[in-house]
Amino acid sequence: MRIDRKRLETSIEELGAIGATPRGGLTRLALSDEDRRGRDWMVARMREAGLRISIDRMGNIFGERAGTEPLPPVMMGSHADSVPTGGKYDGQLGVLCALEAIRSLNDHAVRTRHPVTLVIFTNEEGARFQPAMIASGVMAGKIALEDAYNARDKDGIRLVDELERIGYLGPEPCVARPIRAYLELHIEQGPFLEEEKLSVGVVEGIVAISWSRLTIHGVQDHAGPTPMRIRHDALVAAAEVVTGVRGIARDLGGDVVTTVGNLTVAPNIVNAIPGRVTLSIDMRDPRTETLDRARERLDRIVREAYEREGVRYELEHYWQVPYTPFAPEVIAAVERAATTVGARWRRIRSGAGHDAQYMAAIGPTGMIFVPSHDGRSHCEEEFTSIEDIEDGANTLFLAALELAGRA
């Protein structure tokens, strides 16, 4: 039994047309009008497939295909929102491959012991409302519903008001319920599968993440009359930190990645010595202990920069998530499915967060990666070939079938 590649290709094109950008990408921000149209399209397809639809208080959409026994469901899905000028594979592909897997169960009139449920999570990207993965976070009991409701976009609009406006403020409680398993297919968003000419990655877990915030206070002064010897330049200290943060990854080696992605300079004008700089530090590694060492190094780098430039600083390590391992039985089911499909696969770890991270706190969870061309994502150039998608979708289909148990 296999999925219908042509039908899957058509649905990628149809859903991808909602919020399409002129250069082949996608802008479908969470709870926007485009998101509503995308959701409506999905719900219509789910009804056609005979699924029982329910929507929870975070706007997560569920479509259940009944099982033959009163057992917890095998859940599969992803998110359907995108970043601005993002691609049409991130998120949407996981939702559409799950739909295709269910359609294929219907084609072959297969009955399963466990129900099989498609899920579409609200606001995974965090591009419009922070934090990212907010709705699976509420579901896993890690984020309070009230806090999620009060998340505001850059125009001050509340998440709950947008949920209501687009008609997806559902009645069902957004809480953890028993699941047989959760499976999510997603693009890799990195270069490894393509470099090794593989079509499927069997994801073993999601890396540990550590976020820090640094504020450097120098002395703001005139760029002309102030001689170099009496300057306390916050940006010069920040530049040392930026280089130092990259050095952490070089020195620790292995898989650790370190990034300064956000920098705010005040007053940020041509003729003043910068008085204040804030910057973000993102560090990731599969081993939680490595990040403890990375944070110690960061402390030292900042202290040295501060001594050299004579500035003051505040360094806050404000957010950390440990490594999220996936369930061995789900990983094994995905490996068997990938082998049966004839996919070229290997085990891999995810460097990005996904809804699966929170779902792993609820029940046995696993993910399937398909390659990203040039490793690129969150851009209009995002691309995965239909051949690789077919291998991934078939892997999802067979793994879900095994976990749901043929009746």
Q: Which CB sits closer to Zn ion, 105 or 118?
A: 118
d(CA 70, CA 48): 23
Q: Which CB sits closer to Zn ion, 124 or 233?
A: 124
Q: Minimal distance in Å, beta carbon 331 to Zn ion? A: 20
d(CA 209, CA 406): 38
Q: Does 90 bind Zn ion (CB under 5 A)?
A: yes
- How far apart, in Å, do the first and last CA atoms of the chain sit? 16
Helix (H, G, I), strand (E, B) or coil at 161: helix
Q: Minimal distance in Å, beta carbon 47 to Zn ion? A: 25
Q: Minimal distance in Å, beta carbon 71 to Zn ion? A: 29
Q: Minimal distance in Å, beta carbon 365 to Zn ion? A: 15
Q: Minimal distance in Å, beta carbon 189 to Zn ion? A: 8
Q: Minimal distance in Å, beta carbon 380 to Zn ion? A: 15
Q: How far is CA 245 from the centre of its chain?
A: 24
Residue position matching structure tokens 């898989």 = 255
Token pair for residue 321?
Answer: 């998530």
Only one of the segments 90-98, 276-284, 316-324, 359-367 lies at the binding site for Zn ion (rule: CB under 5 A); that segment is: 90-98
Q: Does 274 bind Zn ion (CB under 5 A)?
A: no
Q: Minimal distance in Å, beta carbon 78 to Zn ion? A: 6
Contact criterion met (CB below 8 Å) for 141 and 175: yes
Only one of the segments 22-30, 91-99, 144-152, 280-288 lies at the binding site for Zn ion (rule: CB under 5 A); that segment is: 91-99
Only one of the segments 38-46, 85-93, 298-306, 334-342 lies at the binding site for Zn ion (rule: CB under 5 A); that segment is: 85-93
| Binding map of Zn ion across residues 386-405, x = CB under 5 A, - = no contact | --------------------
Q: Which CB sits closer to Zn ion, 91 or 115?
A: 91
Using a 10 angstrom Cβ sphere, with 0-12 exposed, 13-18 middle and 19 or more buried, the burial of residue 254 is exposed
Contact criterion met (CB below 8 Å) for 119 and 74: no
Q: Which of 150, 163, 94 is nearest to 359 (CA)?
A: 94
- Which one of residues 16, 77, 91, 205 is an interface residue with Zn ion (CB under 5 A)? 91
Token pair for residue 375?
Answer: 């490793």
The residue type of 140 is A
The site that binds Zn ion (CB under 5 A) totals a number of residues, namely 2
Q: How far is CA 377 from the centre of its chain?
A: 11
Question: Dihedral sign, CA of 90, 126, 327, 55?
Answer: negative
Neighbour tally for 303: CB within 10 Å? 12
| Phi, psi for 203 (deg, rounded to 5) | -80, 125
Q: Minimal distance in Å, beta carbon 370 to Zn ion? A: 12
Q: Minimal distance in Å, beta carbon 399 to Zn ion? A: 19
Token pair for residue 189?
Answer: 């968003």
Only one of the segments 25-33, 48-56, 86-94, 201-209 lies at the binding site for Zn ion (rule: CB under 5 A); that segment is: 86-94
Q: Minimal distance in Å, beta carbon 91 to Zn ion? A: 4
The residue type of 48 is E
The total number of residues shown for the chain amounts to: 407
Helix (H, G, I), strand (E, B) or coil at 25: coil
| Binding map of Zn ion across residues 44-83, x = CB under 5 A, - = no contact | ----------------------------------------
Q: Spell out a b/e string for 48-84, using b for 16 or more CB atoms within 10 Å of the CB, else e.
A: ebebeeebbbbbbbbbbbbbeeeeebbbbbbbbbbbe
Q: Which CB sits closer to Zn ion, 112 or 365?
A: 365
Residues at the contact surface with Zn ion, assessed by CB under 5 A: 90-91
